[in-house]
Amino acid sequence: MLRCPVCWSPLARQGKRYRCVRGHSFDVARSGYVNLLRSGSGRSRGDALAMVRSRRAFLEAGHYRPLLEELKRRVPPSHLAQHGLRSLLDVGCGEGYFTAGLAEALAGWEVWGIDISRDAVDVAARRHPEVNFAVAAARDLPILDASVDVAVSTFGPHEPGELRRVLRPGGRLLVASPGAAHLVELRRMLYRDVRPPGHQAVEDPRAGWSLIDRAELRYILELDLGDRGALLAMTPYAWAGSEDSRRAVLDLPTITAHFVITELMPIA
């Protein structure tokens, strides 16, 4: 699946490095990931280590497990399984919770998680050595054209043009986005003007995609003090509002989880 970020030739693993036919090589880090972030392709360093650790603690406590189970139910799409196709790309994989959960359900598949945050990918690779991880930007994927059967984006930014490029004909894109009510109680505490979260999926066929399905998942999170603190710390809301309002978030008895799962197919 991988291509060289320098010359776009196929990359193959050779021992502790990935190498292309033109001689460009990329070392595998001690934790197991490879850094394929091309110089100038990333505008930010992504999530910092403290945020990554908070997200890992929150997710591994199982609070978003229903979303993972919904994604697993949709992967692989039945028509792909019938043709024996088996490659998945998780764009914006973060600390790897969803990537590893999907890989566990897809025995024999080639699964890659990609994120621009080196800290996040390092944590993911250490926690899930059975999965492939790389540092790269969503808008400059080090992935060969038409080499991916299923692409997944969970909460993160994604570039529709790049995803269309890497998906095989008939491939699928699954996007999990925050719904309008996601963490609404928390947002009411922090903002005067409560607006829906961003990162919505591209559903306009004129943009090169055909909508296959759209579903919503909504439930109530019952969190202890540590969970509420991790939830606040793993999001940009950690810097929103006043100190008093952030402290009030830690006293919320329940918080709504609301996700929109969109399945799309690129139009040939």
Domain residue extents for the chain: 39-266
Read off the pLDDT of residues 63-95 as tens digits, 9 standing for 90 and up: 999 999 999 999 876 656 556 668 999 999 999
Contact 76, 150 (CB under 8 A): yes
Cα(201)–Cα(141) distance, integer angstroms: 18
What is the average pLDDT score of the chain?
89
Question: Which pLDDT score, from 0 to 100, does residue 85 have?
Answer: 66
Cα(258)–Cα(179) distance, integer angstroms: 5
Between 246 and 255, residue with greater pLDDT: 255
Structure tokens at 54: 């908070």
From 135, 97, 134, 99, select the one nearest 116 (Cα to Cα): 135
Read off the pLDDT of residues 89-136 as tens digits, 9 standing for 90 and up: 999 999 999 999 999 999 889 999 999 999 999 999 999 999 999 999
Q: Using the predicted structure, report yes or no on whether residue 40 has a pLDDT greater than 70.
A: no
Q: Using the predicted structure, report yes or no on whether residue 6 has a pLDDT greater than 70.
A: yes
Backbone angles phi, psi at 110, to 5 degrees: -85, 115
Cα(198)–Cα(154) distance, integer angstroms: 12
Read off the pLDDT of residues 140-178 as tens digits, 9 standing for 90 and up: 999 999 999 999 999 988 899 999 999 999 899 999 999
Contact 208, 160 (CB under 8 A): yes
3-state helix, strand, coil in the chain (%, to 5): 30, 30, 40
Cα(89)–Cα(253) distance, integer angstroms: 36
The stretch 10-21 carries a mean pLDDT of 96
In percent, the amount of the chain with pLDDT more than 70 equals 89
Q: Which CATH superfamily is domain 39-266 in?
A: Vaccinia Virus protein VP39 (3.40.50.150)
Element (H, E) at 70: helix 65-74
Read off the pLDDT of residues 140-149 as tens digits, 9 standing for 90 and up: 999 999 999 9
Question: Which pLDDT score, from 0 to 100, does residue 103 have?
Answer: 95
Name the pTM for this structure. Answer: 0.90
Burial class (CB in 10 A: 0-12, 13-18, 19+), 161: exposed
Classify strands 255-266 and 87-91 as parallel, antiparallel or unpaired. Answer: unpaired
Question: Which pLDDT score, from 0 to 100, does residue 194 have?
Answer: 59
The stretch 252-264 carries a mean pLDDT of 94
Q: Using the predicted structure, report yes or no on whether residue 41 has a pLDDT greater than 80.
A: no
Question: Which pLDDT score, from 0 to 100, does residue 221 have?
Answer: 95
Element (H, E) at 49: helix 49-60
Question: Which pLDDT score, from 0 to 100, does residue 51 have?
Answer: 92
Contact 181, 256 (CB under 8 A): yes
Cα(25)–Cα(4) distance, integer angstroms: 8
Q: Using the predicted structure, report yes or no on whether residue 264 has a pLDDT greater than 80.
A: yes
Residue type, 141: L
Cα(56)–Cα(162) distance, integer angstroms: 27
Question: Which pLDDT score, from 0 to 100, does residue 189 have?
Answer: 85
Band of residue 197 on the pLDDT scale cut at 50, 70, 90: low
From 63, 121, 133, select the one nearest 94 (Cα to Cα): 121
Contacts of 219 (CB under 8 A, 6+ apart): 66, 256, 257
Element (H, E) at 264: strand 255-266
Structure tokens at 99: 């990537």
